[in-house]
Amino acid sequence: MTIFGEIAQITLRALLGRRRTLLMLLLAAIPILVGLLVRANARPGPVDVGAFLDAIVIRVVLPLVALVFGTAALGSELEDGTAVHVLTKPIRRSTIVLAKITVAGTLTAALLVPSTIVAGMLIAGLLNTRPGSDPITATFAIGLGVLVGSYLYAAIFVALSIVTSRGLLVGLGYALIWEGILAGLLPGSQVFSVREYVRGIAETLEPSSIESIVGSSAVAYAAIALVAASVIASLRLAVYEVRGGE
């Protein structure tokens, strides 16, 4: 097994072996449960798949699940001291960071892409979806956006957990305050919003799915943000100092 695979495997076991797995499964089930409720109580009038998935998956569930996995992948190990057993090996710091981002992003995507598709299909199955839209294509477009967003959020939250021991709190602040409040007040700030990149990717793939400010530039923005977060995380880990000395 490669060094990357070894670190990824131990990270995966650490992330799955705790109560957080159950909590994340519950979070991932929310879009499906709400989709079922909407379907059961369908009223006359158009139902917008894009608006539905945006409100539940893109705005709430995606950042929350990615935040938990992203900050736990490395941040928890730095906090509890188990990371020392990996840090004191002759391994490039970028290898450690990429393995952590890959695992956190894959777990997030593995839970949320199927959840997004199933929830979207539940809504798309309704007869009275928005005229002129293709709800099934929109669902898959948003699912792909969520896939990219999973890795992007994971990279940002892994980096945050190295930069600060309060990664969870700062990450929550980013998702709630920056993306949630400031993006509405200052439209320009949406250029620096993962949520907007997810929307932009979905819109690029299926223009009727959802509207975004960044449009097709989202792909480039997302790629730059992913690389920047990975590089910053690697550089910060290279100068990471253990806590708890005397």
Q: Which is nearer to another protein, 39 or 166 (CB)?
A: 166
Q: How far is the CB of 65 from another protein (least distance, A)?
A: 22
| 148 contacts 198 by C-beta, under 8 angstroms | yes
Taking the complex as a whole, the smallest distance from the CB of residue 17 to another protein amounts, in Å, to 5
Q: Looking up tokens 């379907």, which residue turns up?
A: 39
CB-wise, 1 or 185, nearer to another protein? 1
Length of the chain, in residues? 246
> Based on CB atoms, which residue is closest to another protein, 188 or 241?
241
> For another protein, which is the closer residue by CB, 99 or 152?
99
Nearest C-alpha neighbor of 97 from the set 109, 111, 87: 87
Got the DSSP string for 137-204?
A: HHHHHHHHHHHHHHHHHHHHHHHHHHH-TTHHHHHHHIIIIIIIIIHHH-GGGGGG-HHHHHHHHHHH
* Cβ 25 to another protein shortest distance, Å: 19
In this structure, are residues 147 and 113 in contact, taking their beta carbons and an 8 Å threshold?
yes
Q: How far is the CB of 70 from another protein (least distance, A)?
A: 19
Q: Which residues bind another protein (CB under 8 A)?
A: 1, 3, 6-7, 10, 13-14, 17, 80-82, 84-93, 238-239, 241-242, 244-246
| CB 84 to another protein: min, Å | 5
Which residue lies nearer to another protein by CB, 41 or 88?
88
Residue in 200, 205, 206, 234 with CA at minimum distance from that of residue 219 = 200
